[in-house]
A and B are shown apart, each in its own frame.
Chain A
Amino acid sequence: MTVANTVEGASVTARKTGFRHVVTSIRGDGWASAGIITIAVFILAAIFAPLLTAIPGQNPYTYHLGLLDDSGAPKGWGGGISATHWFGVEPLTGRDLFAIVVYGARTSLLVGVSATILSVLIGVLVGITTGFFGGWYDRVMSRVVDVMFGFPVLVFLIALTAIVPSSIPRPLFMIVVIGLFGWPAISRVVRGQVLSLRERNFVVASTAMGARPGHVLFTQVLPNVTATIIVYATIMVPSMIGFEAALSFLGVGVPPPTPSWGRTIGDAVGWVQTSPMYLVFPGLALLLITLAFNVFGDGLRDALDPKAVRR
């Protein structure tokens, strides 16, 4: 009800929120474009990891003890950077750091994206049904969400790794558990949106016309929620990636020899002084992918939000 509202002219200019408009908006937003390009680079690097590492002829598993000095630190500048070892080598093992970083992208992206997909699927399902149908089902689920929200997730995850039998592959276990802790956040946001949409006249009109609840959900409610879901999913991926990295950092994540940025950073703690590049390369990779997703998610939200101030 601010004065600015009354200034609207009689002709309302069209504000497209279709796909084409989103693409134009993102392209116009410098940060967001950089974000999506970075994401694409990382995804390609992860998919084509074997090809990429074949260029210098390396892989993340082979030990190169000859490149280390007596204390285990890599010889040469920057942790052993050379034409064949683009990022240098790992202390104590001599494994190629470039290969570790590239293959580590696989772990991070696999766990991060899969966990997000799992969270989104469950969260959207719960959010839409509780928001739309309400009743005791909604009340019970809300309490469950409340509890899960406040739960010390990291602590619980660490504890769970103690009892999980080793027959279950660790990445799968991580995806399932991280995903299971992520859905409350999305469900709450979706539920809130559905609650407010439910009272909007066009939803009521649809019911008044004789549409079944399922039809109303799909045709009227869902299209108005998809924007939120997409934005939220995009912003959730970096959190999931971060979770996996944190667990690996603490030593309770993906077990060796599978490369993981988090575990490498964890190992780098003791080498910060002597071989700082051991920390910098995986750290930078993690920072870049997280930043890229966050920035892209922000740009996406601005593009899809009809109320956003156009720059």
Chain B
Amino acid sequence: MSDEPAPTVLSVDEVSISFAGQGGPERPVVDRVSFDLHAGRVLALVGESGSGKSVTAMSVLGLLPGTATVSGSIRLDGGELIGADAARLRQVRGGQIGTIFQEPMNAFNPVYTIGWQIAEAIRSHDPRTARAEVEARVAELLSAAGIRDVARVRRAHPHELSGGQLQRAMIAMAICSNPVALIADEPTTALDVTVQAGILDLIRRLRDEHGTAVLLITHDMGVVADLADDVVVMRDGRVVERADAATLFARPQAAYTKALLAAVPTLDTLEAPAGRVAPRPAEDAEPAAEVRGACIVYGASGWGRRSLTAVEDVSFHIEAGCTLGLVGESGSGKSTVGRALAGLVPLRAGAVRIGGVDLTTVSARGLRAVRKRIGYVFQDPASSLNPRLTIGQAIAEPLRLHTDASAAGRRTRVDELLDAVRLDRDFAGRFQHELSGGQRQRVAIARAIALNPTLLIADEPTSALDVSVQASILELIRRLQDELGFACLFISHDLAVVQALVDDVVVMRRGRIVEAGPAEQVLTAPRQPYTQRLLAAAPVADPVQQRLRRDEWRALNTADDDVEIVT
């Protein structure tokens, strides 16, 4: 590496942004933020939700809604971008600065083919290009972005492709005019971990081979450790700390940065995890939950509609008081298994037993009785609570369904439960839209344990929450399990989160079990190649360690991440 500092491509200077009608200039969403983007270097803009990182990035290209007021200076190649006229902005957008967004499925127009949309981008900056040249360039770009089946992808509509393919296509579209800078707004948040690794690798190649400056917006410290050269940490619209990546991770200065790094669940790969010591019950006791040879098929009705086998030949059991982590990427069938355990999905074959009762053969009344013993926590806290009911009513619902408690009795129990999840008792009278994500999830947990269940099914309970909130929710689940002794099925795609909590792990892929065993064994020394790839792909919040892991991942990576959707 040369000692000369790389040339500054983009310079953001004392930029403040406020929105009309939301506090006005007295409460700016972004407050005097400054940073510089250098050629051939990745700058990560890190923060949790509400930090203003996305707004800052969008202001560079003038993509904010009309109600925004931007002050300060953003200079590209010497030219000022704030207040620039429409023609100049159009030239910059796509021409000098390319952009990729978070949800690739929504970022493409659903009615046009991918090839058409990329060609449109090419032509917008070079209108006189001949048709044949444009077609050739589209193919070249897609191929450079790592797409294998170029002919099929260019002819396809967005809903026919997977998230990974779409993100690669979007990158291809963003670099079509050889921009000097690339803005990547949470580019991998919506993707599976193995797909994510490939996309990050692609961005890295752009930086190394073309000298593209990259502004990476993310909340994932693992991604930052993997990709970033420089880091700027934002909180509530202000810059809290800035440093190069190595320094930031090794010696964080600001309290907030330290707290952020501490909250990230780490994957201990070298030592055995300091997990819980689970109480192992007697050998012949009935497991709290058991799945035997389960097979679940969707859409198997008539009219020649094709059916989808979501789960095939899955078997495992959970002892009382223990936690089983069910791990997999999207499409693995883990959520479906969770629903089957709650009796929400019928089985094509096999059996599901809760405390000895077989859900596939039990009567309707028997099913209702069994459900008393199951608690379910969903991924999205916003949709798991009825917006028209108060918190108290929501928590009391299992009590109303299964007990004869009077209104006063229910209220007492609701208060007890709110205490147990560390929420103020007066929350009982509020509605769900008045609570934050973390608070809603606590309410959901309170509802799930209302009847002292023997089994708690938690389906990605922390995936939709900020990192700092995640840790507290996990701690809550762990504490409640110690106090109440329920068995727990913990479904997640995040191995680090799983490791902190579970005794045993089951890894699923495309409906089948790939590997199963105690957590220490599966998560530190996996035997199956898929599990090894999964572990290797998960980025760790430590740049030094991450570089080693990256090499490991490359060595393992032979599979395609162009997973195709069954259409």
Contacts and interface: CB of A to CB of B under 8 A. Distances in A.
Interface of A: 1-4, 6-15, 17, 200-202, 204-212, 215, 219-220, 223-224, 306
B50 A8 contact: yes
Given A1-B106, A205-B447, A219-B397, 20 more contacts: A3-B58, A3-B65, A7-B19, A12-B436, A13-B434, A14-B433, A14-B434, A17-B388, A201-B378, A202-B384, A206-B397, A208-B343, A208-B371, A209-B397, A209-B402, A210-B369, A210-B398, A211-B397, A223-B389, A224-B387
B344 A3 contact: no
B366 to A, nearest CB: 11
A251 B55 CA distance: 63
B433 A215 contact: no
B431 interface: yes
Contacts of B394: 202
Contacts of A9: 50
Given A7-B19, A200-B383, A224-B386, A208 B436 contact: no
B16 interface: no
A223 B398 contact: no
B55 A209 contact: no
Contacts, number: 94
Interface string B358-386: 00000000011111101010111001111
A13 B398 CA distance: 28
Interface residues of B, number: 49
| Interface of A: prevailing SS | loop
A215 B102 contact: no
B431 A6 contact: no
Interface string B324-360: 0000000000000000001110000000000000000
A202 B383 contact: yes
A204 B383 CA distance: 10
A215 B368 CA distance: 13
Contact of B376 (A17, A208, A215, A220): A208
A10 B437 CA distance: 9
16 contacts: A6-B49, A6-B54, A7-B52, A10-B50, A11-B436, A13-B434, A14-B433, A15-B433, A201-B383, A201-B384, A208-B371, A210-B368, A210-B371, A210-B401, A219-B397, A223-B388
B563 interface: no
Contact of A209 (B19, B371, B385): B371
Contact of A208 (B65, B342, B385): B342
Contact of B50 (A6, A14, A211, A215): A6
Q: Which 7 residue pairs are nearest across A and B when measured between Cβ atoms?
A: A210-B371, A201-B384, A223-B388, A210-B368, A201-B378, A202-B386, A201-B383
B384 A3 contact: no
B310 to A, nearest CB: 16
A1 B102 contact: yes
Given A202-B384, A205-B378, A207-B344, A7 B55 contact: yes
B379 to A, nearest CB: 8
Nearest to B103: A1
Contact of A3 (B54, B343, B389, B430): B54
Given A205-B376, A209-B371, A210-B372, A220 B386 contact: yes
A209 B435 contact: no
B384 A205 contact: yes
A205 to B, nearest CB: 6
B205 to A, nearest CB: 27
B29 interface: yes
B64 interface: yes
Contacts of B367: 210
Nearest to B466: A10
B109 interface: no
Contacts of A207: 344
